[in-house]
Amino acid sequence: MSAPAAERTLLPVAGRGATTRLTLRLLARRPVAATATVLGFVLAGLAGVVSPWALGVVVDVVRDGGSRDDLATPVLSIVAAALVGALAEVVAVGALAQTAVPALAQLREDVLDRSLRLDSGRLEAAGTGDVMARVGDDVRTVTDALDEAVPLLVGSLTAIVFTAGGLFALDWRLGLAGLLALPAYAASLGWYLPRSGPFYRRERVAQGERAEALMAGVQGAGTWRAFGHERLAMEQVERTSDTARGLAQDVFVMLTRFWARMNRAELVGMLLVLGAGFWLVRDGAVTVGAATAAALYFHRLFNPIGAVLMVFDVVQRSGASLARLAGVALLPRDETAAHDLPGAPALVLSGVGHAWEPGVPVLHDVDLAVAPGERVALVGSTGAGKTTLAAVAAGLVTPTSGSVRLAGRPLDELGPATVRRHVAVVSQEVHVLTGTLRDNLTLAREDADDADLHEALDRVGASGWLATLPGGLDAPVGTFGVELTAAQAQQVALARVLLRDPAVVVLDEATAEAGSAGARDLEDAALEVVRGRSAVVVAHRLTQARTADRVVVMEAGRVVEQGPHDELVAAEGRYAELWRAWTSS
């Protein structure tokens, strides 16, 4: 019942180079912590090498028939190494968190930031599940990976260097035999990495689909329930979750086959060392003790080598997530500062055409000029392209052809910050953010004080219900608080415009979702909001058109009529037909 994942245009994923550069840049922000992390784990790794050495000394002491006092040095070294190792670990783990956690927090904040700034069409095409999976699942994957990989890598490399050194110190031929196992290790890695990479990427995508299905189930719960179609939403969750589960299992199967190959490499290395020991002892080149020690040293390399190889896997696994995070975080952010435009700016659209999907144009060659202070009503049947035109006029959408100018300058030249300072939109969607009523209002102007907020709410006619709201401005609203009606939510949205105080307002059927019972109150509020501003009002309630300076009638993506209300009614065209329908009933 749903569009398959392939049809969804997911948000961008960064290439390997860009991902790596971003990661390094983020880690380099805390050079002290990063250095402390590495040094700490090196020290912890070193401390780990002390006890095998000290135990060897104990054995030597006993074999050489030493005294109890001779045991003191090795035994105390073990205690000292344990203490040093423990302290190093405490420092290193803390330092790692201080390096990695802020870097990841930064990354998830950037991802959300860029997502909010994305063209809304692009964001909706990707689905909110994609964003959610990135700031959730992907961040978690990378965090876990870092917690796991960094201590392993640094500690293991330290252990490998010292143990391998010990092996060569025994006899260079024994060391060489151990080294010959390297190709076997490399082969298992070479088998595994190219196979698992695509799986990890598919797993991430599947998790995004799963998030999308879960969000659809939760957000649409009331509707699913009303129709008795809960099963459909559940099936979707079940299907996507099952796909993700299948991929997780496939990845693990691959991983266990990789481990089996790694075991094979260990066995090969072990046999090489033992074999070399056998011939060397037969030739009298080394002692049995040395051959034994070599075998035990090589055995001690199993874990660290395995750990280092696993780091490759972790890098690959988290790399897929990191690339998805970087893909969004690295999207360019327009840093052009907002600046004021002189006087009351005019808004001019010329030759605007737009297609949300290639080949399906919804606007054709539309010209529309809104003079400073002029109120233009946009009417027409639904699907005529009014909402698209409103979005284009507001600079939320870049049209596929034609230009939009504010105060004579193209919008892309002004930059989004400046456009948003001067043009505000109230869309037909109402969404009350979870938080207090104040939080919802100060979204428009962070430094607004109580008096400003009360005034704005009063002007949109909300002071009545505000007075009965327990807690007033600080009343929690939305999911955890008072459920505002659609009309109240829209009043809040209109009050935000007053707080924002832009020169141009675009109201896209801002009174629609309230239902007819509240529509008239909202119309008054809308009138208050557009007073003294240029306005484009998308309206199917023609009372709003009647009071506008000019009515623009759209049909099938084109402007078919325009002029003052009375003239259009007299002209007996499309508007007159709409007006008759409106007033006759």
Partner 1 sequence: MPHTARRVVLEPFRRNRGLLTSAYVLTVLWQLGEAAVPVMIGVVVDQGIATGDLGPFLLSCLGLGLVFLVFSLSYRFGGRMALRVQQAESHRLRLEAAGHVLDPRGVRDEQLSGETLSLATSDADKVTMLVRQLGYTIASLVTVVVTAVYLVGVDVTLALVVLLGLPVTIALTQAVSPVVARRTEREQAAVARVAGLAGDLVAGVRPIKGIGAEDVASHRYRTSSRAAQRSAVVTARSWGYLSGLTTFIAGAFLALVAWLAGSKALDGDLSLGQLVAVVGLTQFLAEPIKHLGDLSAQAASSWASARRIAAFLSTERDLVDGTVADVPERPRVELAGVTHGRLRDVSLSTSDGELLALAVDDPAAAAALVALLGGDVVPDSGEVRVGGTPAHALTIDARRRSVLVVPHAAYLPEGTLRSVVDPLGRLGADELDAVLAASAAEDVVALHDTGLDHAVRARGASLSGGQRQRLALARALAATPAVLVLHDPTSAVDAVTEQRVAAGLSALRRGHGATVVVTSSPALLAAADRVVWVRDGRVAAEASHATLLAEPDYREAVLR
Question: Which 238-267 residues touch partner 1, going by CB under 8 A?
Answer: 238, 241-242, 245, 248-249, 252-253, 256-257, 259-260, 263-264, 266-267
Q: Which amino acid is at 120?
A: S
- Residue 75: CB partners within 8 Å, gap ≥ 6? 54, 58
* DSSP secondary structure of 365-386: EEEEEE-TT-EEEEE-STTSSH
Residue 314 as a binder of partner 1 (CB under 8 A): the answer is: no
Contact segment (CB under 8 A) with partner 1 among 174-182, 185-193, 317-325, 377-385 equals 377-385
CA neighbor of 29 nearest in space, from 116, 100, 130, 124: 100
- Please choose, from the candidates 197, 85, 105, 200, the residue with its C-alpha nearest in 3D space to the C-alpha of residue 151: 85
The CA-atom distances, in angstroms, between 479 and each of 222, 287, 429, 435, 436 are 14, 76, 16, 8, 11
- Measured from the CB atom, the residue of 16 and 531 that comes closer to partner 1 is 531
Between helix 16-28 and helix 288-329 the angle, nearest 10°, is 100
- When asked if residue 9 is in the footprint of partner 1 (CB under 8 A), the reply is no
Is residue 366 at the binding interface for partner 1, with CB under 8 A as the rule? no
Under rule CB under 8 A, which residues in 395-434 are in contact with partner 1?
Answer: 396, 416-417, 419-421, 424-431, 433-434
Residue placing its CB nearer to partner 1 in the complex, 346 or 441 = 441
For the bound state, the minimum distance from the C-beta of residue 344 to partner 1, rounded and expressed in Å, comes to 18
* Of residues 506, 210, 167, 416, the one with CA closest to residue 304: 167
Give bridge partners of residue 363 from the DSSP assignment.
354
Alpha-carbon span 483 to 389, nearest angstrom: 32
The CB-of-472 to partner 1 minimum distance in angstroms stands at 19
Of 546-565, which residues contact partner 1 (CB under 8 A)? none
Given the complex with partner 1, which of 323 and 362 has the nearer CB atom? Answer: 362
One of 36, 394, 406, 529 touching partner 1 (CB under 8 A): 394
Residues 21-50 within binding reach of partner 1 (CB under 8 A): 44
Contact 148, 315 (CB under 8 A): no
Q: Check: CB of residue 435 under 8 Å from CB of residue 476.
A: yes
User: Binding of partner 1 at residue 456 (CB under 8 A)?
Assistant: no
Which tokens hold the place of 434? 């979870």
Q: How far apart are CA 63 and CA 56, in angstroms?
A: 10
Nearer to partner 1 among residue 17 and residue 359 (C-beta): 359
Among 138, 171, 374, 509, binds partner 1 (CB under 8 A): 509
513 binds partner 1 (CB under 8 A): yes
Closest contact distance (angstroms) between CB of 385 and partner 1 is 9
Residue of 412, 403, 374, 336 whose CA lies nearest to 504 = 374
Residues 91-110, interacting with partner 1 (CB under 8 A)? 91-94, 96-98, 101-102, 105, 108-109
Q: Does 481 bind partner 1 (CB under 8 A)?
A: no
Q: Is 493 in the site for partner 1 (CB under 8 A)?
A: yes
* Residue 201 makes contact with partner 1 by CB under 8 A: no
Q: Tell me the site size for partner 1, rule CB under 8 A.
A: 184
212 binds partner 1 (CB under 8 A): yes
From 23-31, 347-355, 454-462, 541-549, give the range in contact with partner 1 by CB under 8 A.
Answer: 541-549
344 binds partner 1 per the rule CB under 8 A: no
**Quick one: which of 440, 446, 439, 394 has its CA closest to 420?**
394
Q: Does 453 bind partner 1 (CB under 8 A)?
A: no
Q: Which residues within the stretch 180-199 sit at the binding site for partner 1 (CB under 8 A)?
A: none
Task: Identify the CA nearest to 40 among candidates 80, 83, 94.
Answer: 94
